[in-house]
Amino acid sequence: MASEFSWEVRVYYEDTDAGGIVYYANYLKFFERARTEWLRAIGVGQQKLLEEHDAMFVVKNVSADYHAPARLDDALKLTLVIEKLGRASVVFRQQAWCGTTLLNTAHVKVGCVDGALRPRALPDAVAAEMGRFVAN
């Protein structure tokens, strides 16, 4: 069974619109931060990845479904699993929860590129660590 990564974040005033509801685009920021924290948790520093392997990640595609609003001061749990691990790309399923309420589901495809932004294979050690998070 795949491991699910989760990371918590609090909704701040700057994350909301005039009505105190999280602005829709801010879910993408939350999900980006969760992916970064997940990489750290599996021992992959993005700066080190670039310096040692000439590899970095870029977002290629995002689709998001909004199920319920998050509000000012809510404590959110962000989760991720990998839906597809390719040779040079990864498709994540990420979700935002407030308690037991699902707020948002996003599918994010990231590609691995070199410093010149050309596609390249994931480094073997990174791909092996990521493999633990592939959904069945």
Positions annotated as catalytic residues are 17
105 touches 30 (CB < 8 A): no
Distance of alpha carbon 47 from alpha carbon 36, whole angstroms: 11
String of DSSP letters for 35-57: HHHHHHHTT--HHHHHHHHS-EE
Q: Is 46 exposed, middle or buried (0-12, 13-18, 19+ CB in 10 A)?
A: middle
Distance of alpha carbon 81 from alpha carbon 98, whole angstroms: 18
Distance of alpha carbon 101 from alpha carbon 112, whole angstroms: 33
According to DSSP, the residues that pair with 91 across neighbouring strands are: 84, 109
